[in-house]
Structure 1
Amino acid sequence: MLNNMAQFTQTIQQNGGGHILYFSNCEGEYVANAADYIVTGIKNGHHIVFVENDRIILKIAEKLFRRLTVQELKRIQFINNFDFYFSNGNFHPVTIFNHFFDTLDPYYEQGLSLRLWGHVEWGPQNEIERTLESFEREVDQLMPDMEVIAVCAYESDRLSYKLKKELMKCHGYLMTDHYALLIPEMELASAVEDAMDWTPEK
């Protein structure tokens, strides 16, 4: 579990927001980090839009019920990630972006600050790696104007080395189940190696 979530996200917020890539290897650690991300956001006055599968949403919610008040819980919007990413029957970036803006526009119209989290999953689909690369590049281009903290979460073992490397080119921060860091362009290659090979100390 990441021990400095509050400090990590506060630093990003002070820098005007940021785009975080999360490679996860352990569901239990993932759930704990997701709950921490939500709680630190709520305690700092943010609203949360959290895109996740129903099974994991239930596990995260169990942790949140013990840490947040009823009023605080109302500032979280959970969205099923299948409905979000596959409303068109496949992973179709144009449809996803339409859904994305439809979801976020009411928050911006009310001047509310946001934190976002999307667990990206997909089914069988031709050229999915190329589609994911294109999608993440477009998301990254939106980030400076949105001034939000946004996490794009992936199960590490579903990604090829090549795809991990490409995804890290369009995110400013890397998070795993146990650590988080800034990804300067000059450190890209070594950061990919760390993300793929790192294992927690015994």
Structure 2
Amino acid sequence: MKHSLPDLIAAQRNVHVLYSYDERNTYFQTLMAYILDCISAKEIIILIENERNYRKVMTELKKMISNEETQYIHFINSFEFYFSSGNYHPPAITAYFEKEIEPYLDHQTFFRTWAHVEWNSTDVPHHLIHDLETRIDGAVNDIEFPLICAYKNVDMPTDLRKILLQTHPFVLSEAELVPEKASLSVTANSVTHE
């Protein structure tokens, strides 16, 4: 069953979405649509992204939003996020994330998250990726916040794709996507969670 992503988030806060993409331009259009939807809902967007992409996004956003609205964007450098302990260590990544969201939880501020995962997935043992995604899925359900995990298709070998489908209840795929805010649609994932 397909849903509009904004409608799904409005109906259900605990939304954990796997976004697989091929084209860089489509990735940016989708990211921009998500950010603009967050801003129009007056919610913080925690953007876990690389520095280069962040600069590009901010350059484009500043043409569309006010300086005041840029305050809704909370940037986290993706390399520092995933490798804050020196290597890919799920408990350290989870602790980093908890520290970043603590002020929003303390002030009962709604937030959404976009996490761009772009390191070579063959460099990290897949059981560690499964561990992190399982931890994060638990946080999405416990805290009730939307999270989009963006992975490039070429960086997802079959066994990793299987793990990601097991840990993400919703899938946003470039093949089904018209990258306009009202057209971001997700499909409920039919793969059973383990």
- 1:13-24 alignment, distance < 5 Å: 13-24=10-21
User: Between Structure 1 and Structure 2, how many residues are aligned?
Assistant: 183
Q: Please tell me whether residue 27 in structure 1 is matched to residue 24 in structure 2.
A: yes
Structure-to-structure mapping, 1:145-164, within 5 angstroms = 145-164=142-161
- Deviation, structure 1 residue 123: 5.5
Among candidates 180, 186, 191, match of residue 181 of structure 1: 186
**What amino acid sits opposite 1:79 in the alignment?**
I
- State the 1:162 CA deviation: 1.6
Equivalent residue for 1:121, pick from 118, 123, 135: 118
- Sort the Cα spacing of 1:17 and 1:80 in 2 relative to 1 into closer, same or farther, 3 A: same
Does the CA contact (< 8 Å) of 1:9 and 1:149 recur in 2? Answer: no
Structure 1 residue 183: Cα displacement: 2.6
Distance 1:127 1:50, change over 3 A: closer
Q: What residue is the counterpart of 1:41 in the other structure?
A: 38
Query: What residue number does 2:96 align with?
Result: 99
1:195 aligns to what? Answer: none
Deviation readout 1:72-125 (Å, 9 max, x if unpaired): 101111111001111111111111011000000001111110010111233687
Equivalent in 129, 133, 148 of residue 132 of structure 1: 129
Q: 1:53 aligns with which of 40, 50, 54?
A: 50
CA distance in 1, matches of 2:173, 2:121: 25
| Aligned equivalent of 2:164 | 167
Closer/same/farther in 2, CA of residues 126 and 181 from structure 1, 3 Å limit: closer
Query: In the alignment, is the contact (CA less than 8 A) between 1:118 and 1:152 conserved in 2?
Result: yes
Matched residue of 2:68: which SS?
helix
Give the C-alpha shift of residue 50 in structure 1. 0.3
Q: CA deviation at 1:138?
A: 1.4
Query: Which amino acid is 2:125 matched to?
Result: I
Q: Deviations over 1:21-47 (max 9, x none)?
A: 011111111011101100111101101
CA contact (8 A) 2:133 2:167 kept: yes
Quick check: 1:17–1:144 contact (8 Å CA) kept in 2? yes
The amino acid of 1:111's aligned partner reads Q
Taking structure 1 as reference, are residues 123 and 166 closer, same or farther at Cα in structure 2, changes over 3 Å only? closer
Identity, % of aligned positions: 27
2:94–2:132 CA contact under 8 A, matched in 1: no
Conservation of the 8 A alpha-carbon contact between 1:90 and 1:125: no
Does structure 2 conserve the Cα–Cα contact (< 8 Å) formed by 1:13 and 1:149?
no
3-state DSSP of counterpart to 1:181: strand
Q: TM-score, normalised by structure 1?
A: 0.83
CA contact (8 A) 1:31 1:60 kept: yes
TM-score normalised to the size of structure 2? Answer: 0.86
Q: Which residue of 2 aligns with 1:66?
A: 63
